[in-house]
Amino acid sequence: MTDDDTSISLSGWGRSANRRTIVRRPTTDEELVDAIGSAGQVTVRGAGCSYGDAALPEQGIVLDLTARNRVLSFNHLNGVIVLEAGVVLGDLLNQVLPLGWTLPVLPGSARITVGGALASDVHGKNHPGAGSFGQHVLWLSLLDAEGSVTELSAGHDPDGFWATLGGMGLTGVILKAAIQLQPAETGWAKQRRRRTRSLDDTIAVLRELAVRQETDPNLHVVAWLDTHAPGTRLGRGVIDESHPAQLGDLPKGVPPDPDPRRSTRRRPVRSLPGPGVVLAPTIAAASMARWHLGGPRDRLLPLLSALCPLDRADAWPAAFGRRGMVQYQFAIPSEATAVLRRVLAFLVGSRMSPALTTLKNLGFGTAGPLSFPLHGWTLAADLPARWLGDGRTLRSIDAMVAEAGGRVYLAKDSTVDPALIPDMYPRLKTWQRTRDRLDPDRRFGSALAHRLNLLP
C-alpha cells in the first residue's frame, strides 16, 4: 500500500455487507502486478453485483478489474470472442447482438462482468439446456500472486480450470477468457405468461417445462411465487417462458435490435432511511398484486427486459432501507420438493414472507467443485436484512437444504452456517487442494472465504 491510498466504503449488491477498504483499479498489466505485490491479501472484484460479501475484503486491498474491459478479438464466423475480465455482459451484448451473436447464458443481471460470471459460474433461466456460464468457456488466463499468467482449459490443467470456474476469485485473477457465443437473429424475446393456483401446480408446470428446456437451450423459464397467499394457495405463481425471437416473429417495421443504446451501468440510488418501504404490509400487497396482474398473455419484449428485469429496478436494494437486503438462494435435487414447501412454511410461519421469491429449474452441474447448480430446483428469496438479527435466523433452512443434498449459492450468501459448507459442497477438499497449488501463500481472499472458512 502507498501513502496516497485512501479507504472507501464498499458494499455488496444487497447493501447489507459493508467494508471500509482500499480499492485499486489497475488498467495495465504493470499496475495490476504492482497492486498485488504491494498488498498482503487481495480481494478481486468485478461489478460488485454479488449480493453479500463475496467481493469484499477481510483484510488487505480490493482489486477492481472493471477498467480492464477490452474485447481482444472476435471471430464473426464462428462466434468465438476473447475478452478481458472487466467487460460487462450488457456491453458485450451491445456489441455482438447487431452482428447476429448472443451469450448462451445470461444471469438475472447483465451488469455483471465476465470475471464475475466465471468466478461464480453463473446460471441463467435456461440452465437445464444451456448449463452454466463456465460450460461455454474455451480457455481462461489466470494471474497468480507472483505475477505469472497461466492459460487454463478443460484440456490444460483441468483441475485449475474447474477450480477457478465457481472458485469465487480465490484461485487468482482471471485476466481474460475465450467464450463461445451463439447465433441470434434479433434482440427480442417472445414471452408467454401463465398463472398457477398452488405450489403443486407451479411445480407441475415447471417440471413439464424442464423436459422441453433439456432439449431447447434457448427456453428461459422462471416462476415468481406468491408467498402471501394463504392455505393451499401458498406458492401459487406467475410463470414466464421466454424464447429469443426470430426475424420472422417480428411485426413489420420492428427493428431487429429493440434497444441499441441500452444502459449497462447502475444508476446510483441512495438507500432510503430507516426500514425503507419494504415492510410486511407493502410486501404482502405487492406479492398479491403481482399474482393478480400476472394473468396469461403472450408478448414480444426486449430480450434483456425478459431475462434481466431487475436491471430496470436500480432502486430495489435501496428500497430496503439503511440495513439493506439479503437474498437466500439454494438448490435442491429434483425429488426434494417437500423442502420447497417446508422452507416457504418456515418463512411464512416466522413472519418473514419474502419481498420477492423465484423458483427455477436447474439441469446437471459441472466438474467445478464449488459450482452451484445441481439437477433440480433453485429457489431465491429476497429478505430485509433487518429481519435476520444476528444472521442465525435462517439456520433451520440451511439444515433442511443440506439434509436434502442441496446447497446455498455462495455468490448470494450472507448467512449460511459455515459448518454445513462441506456437506453442501462435498468436493470442497478437492477444490482446496487445487486452490492451495494455485495460490500457496494464500494471497487471494475475501470476507466470504473468511466467514465460511473456505481456506482453513
Ligand X SMILES: Cc1cc2nc3c(=O)[nH]c(=O)nc-3n(C[C@H](O)[C@H](O)[C@H](O)COP(=O)(O)OP(=O)(O)OC[C@H]3O[C@@H](n4cnc5c(N)ncnc54)[C@H](O)[C@@H]3O)c2cc1C
Site stretch for ligand X (CB under 6 A), options 39-47, 267-275, 297-305, 337-345:
39-47
- Give the integer Cα–Cα distance in Å for 18 and 57: 9
Chain positions 291 to 310 lying near ligand X, rule: CB under 6 A, are 310
DSSP assignments along 108-142, one per residue: S-S-SBHHHHHHTT---TTHHHH--GGGGEEEEEE
Residue with cell string 429496478:
313
Write the binding mask 364 to 403 for ligand X: x where contact by CB under 6 A, - elsewhere. ----------------------------------------
Q: What angle do CA 68, 71, 72 make, to 5 degrees?
A: 100
- State yes or no: residue 113 binds ligand X (CB under 6 A): yes
For ligand X, which is the closer residue by CB, 50 or 102?
Answer: 50
- State yes or no: residue 210 binds ligand X (CB under 6 A): no
Site stretch for ligand X (CB under 6 A), options 104-112, 200-208, 226-234, 268-276:
104-112
Among 22, 87, 96, 119, binds ligand X (CB under 6 A): 119
Three-class DSSP category at 302: strand
Site stretch for ligand X (CB under 6 A), options 42-50, 155-163, 335-343, 419-427:
42-50
- CB burial class (10 A; 0-12, 13-18, 19+) of residue 260? exposed
- State yes or no: residue 13 binds ligand X (CB under 6 A): yes
Per-residue cell: 99: 452482428
Q: Would you say 113 and 105 are in contact if contact means Cβ atoms under 8 Å apart?
A: no
Beta strands 182-183 and 101-102, pairing class: antiparallel
Of the candidates 209, 375, 226, which has an alpha carbon nearest to the alpha carbon of residue 290? 226
Chain positions 56 to 85 lying near ligand X, rule: CB under 6 A, are 65, 85
DSSP assignments along 227-254, one per residue: SSS-GGGTTEEEEEEEEEPPGGGSPTT-
In the complex, minimum distance from the CB of residue 351 to ligand X, in angstroms, rounded to a whole number: 25
- State yes or no: residue 108 binds ligand X (CB under 6 A): yes
- State yes or no: residue 445 binds ligand X (CB under 6 A): no
Among 102, 120, 227, 353, binds ligand X (CB under 6 A): 120
DSSP assignments along 53-80, one per residue: STTS-SSSEEEE-TT---EEEEETTTTE
- State yes or no: residue 123 binds ligand X (CB under 6 A): yes
Among 109, 202, 287, 353, binds ligand X (CB under 6 A): 109
- State yes or no: residue 22 binds ligand X (CB under 6 A): no
Q: What single letter denotes the amino acid at residue 385?
A: A
* Footprint on this chain of ligand X (rule: CB under 6 A): 13, 43-50, 54-55, 65, 85, 107-109, 112-113, 115-116, 119-120, 122-123, 168-169, 173-174, 310, 411, 446
